[in-house]
Amino acid sequence: MSSLEGDFRSLYIAGGQGGPGGPAHHQGGTGGAGEGPIVHITTSTLIAHNLQATVGTEQALQLQNTWVSQITSHCPPPSRIFCGRQDILDKMHHFFSDTGGQHIYVLYGLGGAGKTQIALKFIEESSFSNVFLVDTSKIETIETALKSIASVGDSAQDALGWFQSNHNKWLLFFDNADDPKINLHDFIPKCNHGNILITSRNPELRSYGAHTLVPDMEEVDATTLLLRRANIESSEENLKLGTEIVKELHYLPLAIVQAGAFISQSEDLEGYRVLYHSNRARLLSEKGAQSHDDYAQTVFTTWQISVDQLSDLAATLLRLCSFLHYTGISEDMFSMASKYDFPSWCPPREELQEPLKFLSHFLGPTGEWDSFKFLDVTNEIKAYSLISFNTKTKLFSIHPLVHAWSRSTLPDEEPFLLCMSSILGMCITTIPEQEIQITAVQLLPHLVLLKSINPDGVADFRRAFWEIYYNAGKYKDARDIAEQVLEKSQLLLGEDHWDTLLAMGNLAATCAHQGEFRKAEELQVLVLKKSTKLQGEDHPHTLLAMGDLAATYSELGEFQQAEELEVLVLEKRTKLLGEDHPHTLSAMGNLAGTYSGLGEFQKAKELGVLVLEKHTKLLGEDHPRTLLAMGNLAQAYFNLGEFQKAEELKVLVLEKHTKLLGEDHPGTLLAMGNLAQTYSNLGQFQKAEELEVLVLEKRTKLLGEDHPHTLLAMGNLAQTYSNLGQFQRAAGLQVLVLEKRTRLLGGDHPDTLLVMGNLPSIYSKLGEFQKAEELKVLVLEKCTKLLGEDHPRTLLAMGNLARTYSDLGEFQKAEELNVLVLEKRTKVLGEDHPHTLLTMGNLAQTYSNLGQFQKAEELEVLVLEKRTKLLGEDHPHTLSAMGNLARTYSDLGEVQKAEELEVLVLEKRRQLLGDKHPHTILAMENLAMTYQNQSKQEEIDKLKQLIEDTKKSL
């Protein structure tokens, strides 16, 4: 038999320099700690033509497969401390178990996420006939590996040919396919069989087949990994400390392994936490002496390798983004900044050279924003998974550790901080007024981070930053900035400059939101006085100041003064701008709101109809201002008791808002809340609850759980729970609202007192009258001290306390308070105001409780007459007055009169509200009682059956 001729060829698949350790296994084992996956095998490689000539093609192929199996038996095992990732492994096993066709699976994600270890674990658990591990970091290492695998011939193409002709269950593992310049397609066998596994930082490789983004570890698995690497037992205390550490490391596997290696030297988990806070960059840059895998890089060096591949522009963008919050980064922030038009109250061009230079890289020939240029740069960064992009929200995010690393490795933070804060400030100045609220909530985390890095190092866009804090509901921070802006403006421009007056107006608005209405009034009076003197009473700025002051008077309950100013503003704007100008229509809408505050609902309605007609004609029925006018008119209908009309309009407003602005827009959520309120008044509490739960969920998500609008939604839902008889849930929610408002606004803020006043009514329904009384006494004391004893909220608190005294049977106390409230409301609001009539009715009820039925009758007859005249005989308040008078007639023994009224109330309520409304059922029960007093058994039986059937159907 002829001897076999051949040469000896080395298979060298390299991923880094091998480290110290014990003697290597004779088949190529790792030999202890190593710094990278290295398989270096010397094997007899036969020259193909000699093989075939000597032993024939079939025997040559058999021998070749034998040597190939020797080569592939040295794929390193996964780390001995590997844990978790079962969901990904299960998905991979399921995918590769499918028979037929070529299977390609891509594991992609950030460097250090554990992609290679997952792949090695999968391989260990599988039963492939041959496994080929290829270092894919460079073209040279790919070609070297494939040539060595080939065994026949001298090129990578020979290896690919072998894969194409070999139908065994082989797996080709391309590890670290990170370089976006390498076209991996050239190295994938062109056949309809075989298995290919790819790990990469480049999400573009998802297009090759099935894929999984390798996320951070689950908390339990991350803690287990940390303790295993640290060689520390899993005691309860260690698990708790370990969990806190992995949270700080954001569950990134490589960072956790590094931390474990460091901790293993001291076995001090708490000591590592303390050290990490002051030496994070150093700890994440050092690698322990002993390894449990062959990965050569630390967390920070892993990312530095990626950043070194980026262009200067891409690297700069990544660095700038590290001064923003690591989530919620948008292209709009940069594109809107490019439209900055240098307003007088912001930094001039010469102070913005660096941000302008940076933004210029993304502009087209005519200076417009070029999204394709921005996309090219972000795609470059995404190719290394250094940022990720949410296609649904159109927002970028950076892994928290990459975010921290990117900033910590800068030799000087100051220029980047100044540049990014300038870009953010420039962006804010270009936000449209109707979008400022939702944009403010999105930008707030970025602004908070910038200021936390160095408040003195950010650009001087304080007035723009005030807009963000103010519209995001962060009034304390807004107040601090407003005071700084005013002080600087007074110093540089003087007391009488319009920029100074504008700053004063912003401070006043902030004070009003903090409940300091007197302080706001004081500032706004000054602004109006100076503006009138400097620019004249017809100047737009003067009229704006006049309108702001009127709004504060309304908040103070001084509706007469508010009306006087708003009538003046409307007259002047009509004369100067015309009755169809948007500012004129805005003044008209404000005046309609004041009429509602005065209880002149008919006037409010008439003005509301006019405003809606003009907006519809001028702007179209789908314009946001038209929808605002529609919502205001719906509220006027609501106040007049025309609930069906109110519902129809509010449903239309909600539909249009949702279509035009999306279901998450503040205007849409406001429309949703208003419709829920109407449902409540129609007795459709289930519908109201569904909408209010949705509003609360969305506001919590969009604005945060502490935003004033979120707390308002929470309070509204609590009231609906109360209406549904779910008093415990209602109380729990109201207590939460009270706690948050007390913490955020202080215990004396009007909004805090409003919630404090709502909570006792729920306590009363739970039978906790003592608690209700204590809280109402406190509210009354605070309102009297802060707002004065004639303020509407003080009188409301007084009336609520009187009701609690009635619940406690202390009717004398209730009478005294109700008499006082009636006197004050008659004086302040007039005897025809709805609140005055409500108090009159409450006093009449107190007289009934005291057995003074004649007094009660006199008042109730007066209330009924006035409500019929002002609101119409079908208004719910009119029907309530009718029902109250009927009960008084019963108490006086005038049962025939009582029956006539109660029959009428029931008919109207059935017609207006339907049989199932709580007020209709109450009317049935009252009439049944009147029949009982007259011993009308047949009518009693019919009515009781109707009540029973109605309640069953609920």
Confidence of residue 297 (pLDDT cuts 50, 70, 90): low
Angstrom distance (rounded) from CA 742 to CA 664:
27
Give 240's contacts (C-beta < 8 A, 6+ positions apart). Answer: none
Nearest by Cα to 909 from 943, 869, 882: 882
Question: What token pair was written down for 493?
Answer: 């421009």
Mean confidence (pLDDT) of the chain: 85
The answer to whether 748 touches 756, Cβ cutoff 8 Å, is no
Under 8 Å CB-to-CB from 409, ≥6 apart: which residues?
281, 300, 304
Task: Output the pTM of the full model.
Answer: 0.70
pLDDT of residue 778: 92
pLDDT tens digit sequence for 793-847:
889 899 999 999 998 899 999 999 999 999 999 988 888 888 899 999 999 999 9
pLDDT band at 754 (very low <50, low <70, confident <90, very high): confident
What's the pLDDT at 74?
57
Cα 618 to Cα 584: distance, rounded to the nearest angstrom: 13
Cα–Cα distance measured from residue 150 to residue 815, given in angstroms and rounded to the nearest whole number: 102
Dihedral sign computed on CA atoms, order 560, 566, 572, 578: negative
pLDDT band for 22, please (50, 70, 90 cuts).
very low
In sequence order, the 6+-apart residues with CB closer than 8 A to the CB of 844 are 855, 856, 857, 859, 860, 863, 884, 888
Instruction: Give the number of other Cβ atoms within 10 Å of residue 42's Cβ.
Output: 11
* Domain residue extents for the chain: 6-213, 219-305, 318-459
- Whether residue 754 contacts residue 778, with contact meaning beta carbons closer than 8 Å, is answered with no
Sequence-distant (6+) residues with CB within 8 A of 2 are 54
Extract the tokens encoding 814: 């209730």
Q: How far apart are CA 359 and CA 356, in angstroms?
A: 5
Give me 685's structure tokens: 């509490």
User: Strand order in 195-200's β-sheet?
Assistant: 130-135, 170-175, 195-200, 103-108, 210-213
Residue 923 has pLDDT above 50, yes or no: yes
Handedness of CA 716, 719, 725, 731 (dihedral sign): positive
pLDDT in tens, 844-891: 999 999 999 999 999 999 999 999 988 888 888 899 999 999 999 999
Task: At 536, give phi and psi (nearest 5°).
Answer: 90, 155
Query: Which two structure tokens, joined as six digits, stand for 382?
Result: 């995404």
Identify the residue whose tokens are 């502490």: 706
- Residue 182 pLDDT > 70, yes or no? yes
Over residues 24-32, mean pLDDT:
36
Q: Are 338 and 362 in contact (CB under 8 A)?
A: yes
The answer to whether 707 and 473 have CB atoms below 8 angstroms apart is yes
Tell me which residue has tokens 């099935």: 210
* CATH fold group of domain 6-213: Rossmann fold (3.40.50)
Write the pLDDT tens digit of every residue in 277-293. Answer: 777 777 777 655 445 45
Cα–Cα–Cα angle for 367, 372, 378, rounded to 5 degrees? 115
Using the predicted structure, report yes or no on whether residue 19 has a pLDDT greater than 80: no
Percent of residues, the chain, with pLDDT higher than 70: 90
Residue 472 has pLDDT above 90, yes or no: no
The predicted model gives 61-87 an average pLDDT of 67
How far apart (Å, rounded) are the C-alpha atoms in residues 314 and 323?
Answer: 15
